[in-house]
């Protein structure tokens, strides 16, 4: 675990206009901290947005239930409240099967219904600024049509990450063709993807570098997930390697997982502040439910 050098009594706030990002999941073990519980509940929405502001968050990656009576209206009202406090709202999509070509039609329906058509029917302040994908090839557990990452060899994994690029390019094309040319695309990526002679069968350094270059051309930002590192130096070293491959379009993502990476909430915030200062930018946090349940001031 990170060894804190000081005790943070409260979370540090950013000093720049570009603040932190945070994942805001619909399903969570901490019920009062789940998007499913918060969105549509006026008092919980007010407290949550106050926490976002207090903790310096200006980008929210949210997963929402659009179905049912009032589902889209509740999300529009939520986005409007976020916009009023200077917070950008992104639609979060996390179906890992979407990276495979035979699931593109389903992915397209999802994007059209919950992003493109949602935005078309919304006022400017109610719209999503972009779409965030937490689609990670390495967590795919398998299907009748596709092998799991765990049981795939290096070359099969190499093909999987190429399929991910194809999916992202299709998404970019769909948004451009649907009047959403200014919509941003952000993704999550494990920090070890850049390693040669690792889990992915890169042909050589040039092959890897070209893959990252293509990724940077498609995406507006990549959250480099550096979980379970236990050291700010390790986190920064890993990040700098991949950041250099992404033309500066990346930022560090940390997990607020107490009892594993961090011994206490103050330790997490102290590590976060150290990393932000040395990296020269704010970070993304995984996730709001972990953070608010642990902080204990709701």
Tokens of 119: 């935005």
Say yes or no to pLDDT of 221 above 90.
Answer: yes
Identify the pLDDT of residue 111: 97
Task: Give tens-digit pLDDT for 74-118.
Answer: 999 999 999 999 999 999 999 999 999 999 999 999 999 999 999
Identify the pLDDT of residue 30: 61
DSSP line for the chain = ----SS--SSPPPPSSSS-EEEEE-SS-SSGGGSHHHHTT-HHHHHHHHHHHHHTTEEEEEE-----STTHHHHHHHHHHHHHHTT-EEEEEE--GGGGSGGGHHHHHHHHIIIIIHHHHTS-GGGS-SEEEE---GGG----SSS--TTT--HHHHHHHHHHHHHHHHHHHHHHHHTT-TT-EEEEEEEGGGG-TTSSS--SSHHHHHHHHHHHHHH-SEEEEE--S---HHHHHHHHHHHHHHTTT-EEEEEE--BTTTBSSHHHHHHHHHHHHHHHTS--EEE-HHHHHHHH---
Question: Which candidate, 263, 261, 266, 192, places its Cα nearest to that of 232?
Answer: 261
Identify the pLDDT of residue 90: 98
Distance (Å) of CA 182 to CA 142, 213, 219? 34, 21, 12
Identify the pLDDT of residue 64: 93
Lowest mean pLDDT among 53-67, 127-141, 167-181: 53-67
Domains and CATH numbers, the chain: 20-295 (3.20.20.80)
More confident residue, 26 or 259: 26
Write down the residue that tokens 């999550």 correspond to. Answer: 188
Task: Give tens-digit pLDDT for 276-287.
Answer: 999 999 999 998
Determine the Cα–Cα distance for residues 183 and 166; give it in Å rounded to an integer. 18
Check if the beta carbon of residue 157 is closer than 8 Å to that of residue 200.
yes
- Which residues in 98-134 are b (16+ Cβ under 10 Å) and which e? bbbeebbeebeebbeebbbebbeebeeebbbbbbbbb
Identify the pLDDT of residue 10: 44
- Provide the pLDDT confidence category of residue 269 given band limits of 50, 70 and 90: confident
Task: Give tens-digit pLDDT for 134-179.
Answer: 999 999 999 998 999 999 999 999 999 999 999 999 999 999 999 9
Identify the pLDDT of residue 204: 97
Write down the residue that tokens 């980008």 correspond to. Answer: 59
Identify the pLDDT of residue 13: 45
Task: Give tens-digit pLDDT for 1-50.
Answer: 333 333 333 444 444 347 999 999 987 556 678 999 999 999 999 999 99
Tokens of 254: 């940390």
Determine the Cα–Cα distance for residues 169 and 222; give it in Å rounded to an integer. 15
């Amino acid at each position: 675990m990170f060894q804190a050098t000081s005790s943070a009594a409260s979370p540090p706030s950013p000093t720049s206009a570009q603040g932190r990002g945070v994942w805001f999941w619909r399903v969570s073990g901490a019920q009062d901290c789940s998007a499913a519980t918060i969105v549509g509940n006026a008092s919980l929405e007010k407290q949550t947005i106050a926490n976002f502001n207090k903790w310096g968050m200006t980008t929210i990656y949210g997963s929402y239930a659009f179905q049912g009576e009032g589902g889209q209206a509740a999300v529009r009202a939520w986005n409007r409240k976020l916009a009023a406090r200077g917070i950008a709202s992104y639609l979060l999509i996390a179906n890992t099967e979407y990276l495979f070509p035979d699931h593109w039609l389903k992915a397209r329906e999802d994007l059209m219904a919950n992003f493109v058509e949602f935005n078309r029917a919304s006022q400017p302040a109610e719209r999503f600024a972009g779409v965030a994908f937490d689609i990670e090839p390495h967590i795919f557990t398998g299907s009748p049509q596709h092998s799991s990452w765990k049981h795939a060899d290096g070359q099969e994994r190499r093909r999987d990450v190429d399929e991910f690029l194809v999916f992202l390019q299709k998404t970019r094309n769909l948004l451009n063709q649907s009047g959403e040319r200014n919509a941003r695309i952000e993704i999550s990526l494990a920090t070890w993807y850049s390693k040669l002679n690792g889990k992915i069968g890169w042909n050589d350094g040039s092959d890897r570098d070209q893959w990252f270059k293509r990724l940077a051309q498609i995406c507006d930002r990549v959250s480099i997930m550096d979980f379970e590192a236990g050291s700010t130096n390790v986190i920064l070293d890993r990040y700098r390697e991949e950041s250099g491959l992404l033309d500066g379009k990346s930022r560090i993502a940390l997990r607020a997982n107490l009892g594993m990476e961090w011994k206490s909430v103050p330790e997490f915030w102290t590590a976060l502040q150290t990393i932000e200062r040395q990296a020269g930018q704010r970070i993304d946090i995984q996730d709001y439910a972990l953070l608010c349940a642990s902080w204990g001031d709701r």
